[in-house]
Amino acid sequence: MRTSSAALLVLLPSVFAIPLGEAPSLRLDVTLSRVEDTRIKAVVKNVGSEDVTFVHINFFKDTAPVKKVALFQHDDSEIAFEGVEKLFKSSGLTEDVLTSLAPGDVYEDEFDVASTSNLSKGGHVTLHAVGRVPVVENSTITGSMPFKSNKLVIDVDGPKASKVAAAMKTMHKRTTVESCPSNDKQSALTTALQNAAYIASQAADAAESGPDVRFQEYFGTTDSETRGIVAARLRAAAAEASSTTFGQTSYYCYDVDEWCSPNVLAWTTQTTNTIANCDLYYTDIPPLTSVCHDQDQATTTLHELTHAPGVYNPGTEDFGYGYDAVAALSPDNALNNADTYSLFANAVYLNC
């Protein structure tokens, strides 16, 4: 990949399966309705039986252009999301990114889906949100809970939708390669890329020919085709990480487009194959952890690399963060979930 000093990054929406053994007491229902044109209201309700606190980054209430709902055309094909995917830390989370709801409590969010997807074709568009949000206790992610919305069908006026301002205005030219303005950050990123290349390559070997039990633990299957796809995506990420001058992504050592916010480690924008690190990446997580299921710079970088469709198409989404959520995903979602790859690589590297 190219490294540079500026970039765009985004998080995608999620779709998850209800895991076995799910505690029925934790659950959010989302009711989607149309405000006007492509402007949508979401009412999020705690339909469980317990008070709950969760991270709302990449979820309803996040003010950045994150993926809150998936959009489908009448033929069920998904409409591309053109916003940002953010990856956040798992402990020491600050209050501003947390939402607490008592049983029966609700909150609302409004957003315009035409600002993060090209809806100029118009016609019937189905909106749906499903996934898992991280549950927090004492500022630390301790698990996850499912959320699910109604399926809302809206009739989109294409010309009108195309007049909605795109959220991502600062698209960088793919050819622009700038150097990192900080020697310390450049050095940390270079090390992280080397480490990411190493652990991704090792994880690719494990996906191809490692023990069934670990692969099953993370990907929910031992199907040979799935193992092949996982290995191929990890090899592509390793190849991308092994060069700072060639590749399909632009990797910025700093928050070039200002999508970082408190608690966010890094971001990616799939439409431009751009990745950027936030300051927290350098201060909050180690280069390479020796703790199973923990975050570090190498696996954060690997997480982001798997998002980029230029590295391996399709780019992954964010269906769940952290070991608990990852272990609860369906095989289909696990295969396309960024954190599943970084946690699998961590497990292979540390022999968890």
Which residues sit at the interface with Zn ion, rule CB under 5 A?
A: 85, 87, 318, 338
Q: Largest Cα–Cα distance in the chain?
A: 54
Of the pair 87, 127, the CB lying nearest Zn ion is at 87
Check 82, 85, 240, 304 and give the catalytic one.
304
- Indicate left, alpha or beta for 273 from its phi (over 0: left) and psi (-120 to 50: alpha): left
Of the pair 267, 349, the CB lying nearest Zn ion is at 267
HSE-up of residue 322 (Cα within 13 Å, Cβ side):
18
Structure token digits, residue 292: 């199973």
Residue 304 annotated to the active site = yes
Of the pair 152, 329, the CB lying nearest Zn ion is at 329
Of the pair 172, 303, the CB lying nearest Zn ion is at 303
Q: What DSSP letter does each residue of 300-346 carry, written as one string?
A: HHHHHHHH-TTTSSSPPB-S--HHHHHHTS-HHHHHTBHHHHHHHHH
The response to whether 318 counts as a known ligand-binding position is yes
Rounded to the nearest whole angstrom, what is the least distance from the CB of residue 77 to Zn ion in the complex?
22
Rounded to the nearest whole angstrom, what is the least distance from the CB of residue 267 to Zn ion in the complex?
8
The response to whether 303 counts as a known ligand-binding position is yes
Rounded to the nearest whole angstrom, what is the least distance from the CB of residue 320 to Zn ion in the complex?
10
The response to whether 293 counts as a known ligand-binding position is no
Structure token digits, residue 214: 């670990």
Strands (E), 25-179: 28-36, 39-46, 52-55, 70-72, 85-88, 98-101, 106-112, 123-128, 130-137, 140-149, 152-156
Rounded to the nearest whole angstrom, what is the least distance from the CB of residue 183 to Zn ion in the complex?
27
Tokens 């309700």 appear where? 45
Structure token digits, residue 290: 């020796």
End-to-end CA distance of the chain: 29
Please give the positions annotated as active site: 304
Binding site residues, as ranges? 303, 307, 318
Binding site residues for Zn(2+), as ranges? 303, 307, 318
